[in-house]
Structure 1
Amino acid sequence: MNTETMGAAPWMALPETQAVIAALEARGGPGCARFVGGCVRNTLMGKPIDDIDIATTLTPDAVIEALGAARLRSIPTGVDHGTVTALSGGHPYEITTLRRDVSTDGRRAVVAFTQDWDEDAQRRDFRFNALYADVRGRIYDPTGEGIGDAREGRVVFVGDAETRIREDYLRILRFFRFHAWYGRGEADHEALAACQALKDGIEGLPAERIQKELLKLLAADDPRPALRLMAATGILSAILPAVESLARLEGLITIESEQLFENDPELRLAALIPGDPEVAEQAADDLRLSNAQTERLVQAVGQSPRLVSWMSPRETRRVVYALGPKAFSDRVKLAWAGSDRSAATPQWRGLLALGESWTPPAFPLTGDEVLKAGVPKGPMVGQVMREVELWWIDQDFIEDRFSIIERLKAVVQGMVF
């Protein structure tokens, strides 16, 4: 097993982190617990740390007892698979007992606990995720290649790529997700070939797991190279049959980079979908998006009203009022991404600025006022309000209360009850 020292990273020295390690070692002795996976990998790569995961030789029951003895809260998040979450100083730490696979079916595994760090490493997906570090910052690299992969930006499966994928077909999408986030240069040829050969296994995966991986991939700074590989191997169409082109997504990511917009994985997903709300709704259903995510996706790809870069301020306010500020912003960015960006950037930027700076007013007419004007209760009240509202919008959201009431009277006089 290769070892190397990365030093004590700041996240390792946190009192709450030290408290968890101390609790485990008080039960299992020094060296029974090591940091594993992303926190070690990202430290080597100089990237931010999101989660701190710990591997241990202690069984889940022993982990719970050790945490309790140290007065730390434990949550049995996945005891059957060896995982307990510790809460220390308000921070979660996922602690997993060393494991080996007994059987797998491509979606889930039956595991047995082990005391062997090498066995645990062999069941992990990628070599740079099979890195462990002790409390002094000494790294353990059971595959002998994980440290080099992390430093060179290589995403390589542990052992045989096809074997790892057959254990869990989600690893196909994880390969592209990790390549988008951490890969540099060409993708590993063996891994790519295995992903393509076994892509039919994706069909048996729960939609929620696919959605999660796809949105994580789309959140990378520049997922375009990974998505091109997915498209070329037929894997993108396996999870998003509606995708016809990457052109609008490519344009959106260029705009985000040039204009310093935040990465927006949900809008990037919308950029992949053709401009048809029905297609977007089907894609959202296939991916089991939430109601809020579905509504955003459907609104973003809509084509009416049509947006152009040379819209006047008055036209812009009408559209913002009709769509709402968020949907307007999404539509502008997608229209911008699908246009000739070189010539119209100032105009598109101006549209966004106006949409962000103008708050659509509430329609200043109530149902009670319509009733007082002589309209009987029933559907006619809504019809009258809509007629006045259309006039109010056409008047560029006039604030003159007298004029609004006079318009109401005129509409009522012209209707037959």
Structure 2
Amino acid sequence: MALSTILFLILFIGLLLLWGCPASRGCLPPGPWPLPFLGNVLQMDQKGLLKSFQALREKYGDVFTIYLGSRPAVILWGYEAMKEALVDQAEAFSGRGHIAIIDPVFQGTGAYLDPHFLFNAITANIVCSIVFGERFNYQDPRLLQLLHLLNEIFIILCSFYTQVFEIFPGILKHFSGTHTRLYSMIEEVKDFITENMERHQKMLDPSGPKDFIDSFLLRMDKERLDPESEFHQKNLVHTVLSLFFAGTETSSSTLCFGFLLLLKNPDVLEKVQAEIDRVIGAHRLPALEDRAKMPYTDAVIHEIQRFSDLVPVGVPHSVTKDTHFRGYYLPKGITVYPVLSSALQDPRHFEKPNTFYPGHFLDAQGNFRKPEVFIPFSMGKRLCLGESLARSELFLFLTTLLQNFSLGSPKAPEDIDLSPRENGLGRPPPFFQVRFLPRRGGGGQEEA
């Protein structure tokens, strides 16, 4: 009996060793030994994927492989590795990577107040004006429900649960859980989009498209006989859904982080408002043309993006063909994670990577400069298409508010906590309160 048990254990361990170094791995970059079905779950830090990747990078270098369950994924750490892949071999790395928890949604297609609602509403309304050709009243129940859904979806996508789902999607998808609630909320957003799309179809004027949906519908009609056309109803709904995901929560969360950082750093706030008063004054609205004459404000906005590090791991890519990279062989379809945080927090390029320091974006003469490693919108062929819109929103919203209001906090600067609510695939800002006080002098208004 004892002998048979020993033989069984030897056989079992042998199978583990064979599975742990699968032939399919080929010449992939090095990485920790995976367990059957579990992959590298034992190497995953409970504080999140970013912490896990940071520890593994110290052992295996800037390019390494991990197994999310049974799925291999290649991790790119540092600006140099990401540039070599996403820019120098842009075509090969241009595939859309998988995010297991939302793959079933897209199916391969295309007094003191919490300011989060305010910033959510204004950024969502900009997307609405582009997509639907209309803005909503901020008390409109439809807008309020949309904002609630987008916020809840973003929090789930940033959560530890989503990281676990990335490792075990084949198992967890068969059980009810947080992902079930996520899909239900996404369906509500899709219903909202579909209702607007159907209304557009009834009122469509081919001679004068008013917005994105009108333009898409006209292209759908033009290519209706082409079976290979990407312009169809499902792609329209999913494209608009993507615009809401990418264009609302990310911008509003960056603004929230920005005002929280200004509350914690009143000296920075004072310098920004002094520059606003000097360049813009009190009697006109800020314009995008002002940005070139406001190097300190521009530096502060870039430092807000760098320090907040909103999407640290980056949206996954996949390679579109068998690819040789840094001496390794990456098979077609393998997932690649560009760790944006490794560039944004790189001490070789940023003097004080763990400190909020606008000087990172100023030269010795006080002129604005942008290091090439500043890549919060990623790089290469899957660069965020909304970059220019987001940069414009951040500048105009921040300068307009600070032109007219000073900021108040119920906490002393040293007591303000900057820790994000979640620390996973995304880093949503913590809840906080701010009071907007009408400015005397600079903003041209008296205190109410």
What is the TM-score of this pair, normalised by structure 2? 0.21
User: Which one has the largest radius of gyration?
Assistant: 1
What is the TM-score of this pair, normalised by structure 1? 0.22
